[in-house]
Amino acid sequence: MTRLLSLILALLLPLAAHAQGGGERKPVTILISIDGFRADYLDRGITPNLSRLAAEGAHGKLRPSFPTKTFPNHYAIVTGKRPDNNGIVGNNMIDPRRPGVRFSLGDPKQSLDPFWWDEAEPAWVTANRAGVRSATMFWPGSEVEIHESRPPDWLRYDEHVGYAQRVNTVLDWMRRPADIRPAFVTLYFEAVDDAGHKFGPDSAEVNAAISEVDTRVGDLVAGLTAMGQPMQMVVVADHGMRAIDESRVIQLADLIDLPSIVAVETGPYAAIEPAAGTDDRVYKALLKPHDHMTCRRREELPERLHYGRNPRVAAIICIAEPGWSILAGVPTWPVKGGAHGYDNQDPEMLALFVANGTGLKGDVGIVDNIEVYPLLMRLIGVAPLPSDATGELANRLR
Ligand code: AMP
Ligand code: ZN
Ligand code: ZN
């Protein structure tokens, strides 16, 4: 009897939801980022929800853009432009037009200033202009008024907002009347990256974070299904994660006296400016061969990195051998656990890609993360702006 009852309910619920929503529900496109979800985490057998979306839909591995950091890659995914062209060339960066100022993701005075973001236009801005309503449950850049526009619904990033609350916020948006219901939504989770940094990619803590986020993705799908809301899901990560330790450290202080450089970024890669632009000693000391690290002038980086033409890229870029850390003096963070930022050819930097919806089927292999943009734009029905993407992923998933 109870089984019969639940069967009847299952049949009636979507109808009730349909009536409540008023009219046929159009599919919503949901872009989820699981920060630092390395591509192979999906093979750990601990992600029933993501694995089901992948098995019934499309999956592959995203090659991040260099540098394999959070802000440059989140912006690449929603603009289709690599960091050199989207303007977010690092989590930390400088600009010759703003002498003495440094952008860093923890400093809202700079990170919320459109000056840094205006070199590209994220999908939600283009969508809104085309009349497709967007809502962002966190995404780097979504708090910023880019090209004089913010998503109609957005929230100031706060890592303390719980994951159930994030999912419920999205579900609440979808319960709205059709005229103010979003058609494109972003959702962001940081726990897998946080645990990866603190405990390393092979830790029990990372697995716990993976399970937690997977459960929340399941809750979202269940909630949307219960309200009869059709969905197109695109689940990505910005980069992978690699184990680091104190025994694999390159100390810049051993190569050059630290006051003669400004280290804009250190870790898996270092972005270095000579403190006095004309100081040839810095170039001499850094540009020679080193163990476990390659340093180049920004004009001489390998073409495949597509990096160095933007004036925000520091004069010298040093890239550590995967697993090694470049330090400038005593680090402000412990050199243990995990890190990312290495060459984007490093297989451990590869990131999650799962898509589920009409026409989204099969294994797409390894694709550059800028290719997500044309796919997204097709799913939300808005013409993409010119970008660095070729459209190969969008063409493949038809
Ligand atoms: P990363 O240093 O590259 O590992 O950056 C990851 C961190 O970026 C996460 O731990 C988040 O706390 C932080 N983050 C993510 N989104 C935002 C945002 N919109 N504003 C500021 N910080 C963010
Ligand atoms: Zn990240
Ligand atoms: Zn990280």
Q: Is residue 15 part of a domain?
A: no
Cβ atoms of residues 303 and 296 within 8 Å:
no
Residues 39, 169, single domain; the answer is yes
Number of Cβ within 10 Å of residue 253's Cβ equals 12
- From 75, 77, 157, 242, the mutation candidate for ligand 1 (largest count of ligand atoms within 8 A of CB) is 157
Provide the annotated active-site residues. Answer: 70
pTM, to two decimals: 0.94
**Between β-strands 242-244 and 102-104, what pairing exists: parallel, antiparallel or unpaired?**
unpaired
- The region that residue 80 occupies, defined by phi over 0 for left and psi between -120 and 50 for alpha, beta otherwise, is left
Residues 264, 392, single domain; the answer is no
Average of per-residue pLDDT across 136-154: 97
Centre of ligand 1 from the C-alpha of residue 70, in Å: 6
Our answer on whether the CB atom of 140 is closer than 6 Å to any ligand 1 atom is yes
Nearest CA owner, ligand 1 atom 5: 70
The domain spanning residue 323 has which CATH number? 3.30.1360.180
Q: What is the pLDDT of residues 241-300, one digit of tens each?
A: 999 999 999 999 999 999 999 999 999 999 999 999 888 999 999 999 999 999 999 999
Nearest CA owner, ligand 1 atom 17: 140
Q: What percent of the chain has a predicted confidence (pLDDT) above 90?
A: 92
Q: Is residue 1 part of a domain?
A: no
**299 is in which domain, residue-wise?**
246-335
Residues 384, 295, single domain; the answer is no
**Between β-strands 102-104 and 269-274, what pairing exists: parallel, antiparallel or unpaired?**
unpaired
pLDDT for residue 333 = 83
In the predicted structure, residue 4 carries a pLDDT above the cut 50: no
The domain spanning residue 37 has which CATH number? 3.40.720.10
pLDDT for residue 389 = 98
Q: Is residue 105 part of a domain?
A: yes
Residues 225, 189, single domain; the answer is yes
Residues 271, 218, single domain; the answer is no
Our answer on whether the CB atom of 107 is closer than 6 Å to any ligand 1 atom is no
Q: What is the DSSP secondary structure assignment for residue 230, as one 8-state letter?
A: -
Q: Is residue 14 part of a domain?
A: no
* Torsion sign, CA atoms 81, 90, 170, 129: negative
Residues 57, 176, single domain; the answer is yes
Q: What is the pLDDT of residues 6-32, one digit of tens each?
A: 544 444 444 444 444 457 899 999 999
Cβ atoms of residues 353 and 310 within 8 Å:
no
* Number of structural domains the chain divides into: 2
> What's the CA gap between 203 and 207, in Å, rounded?
7
Residue type for position 192? V
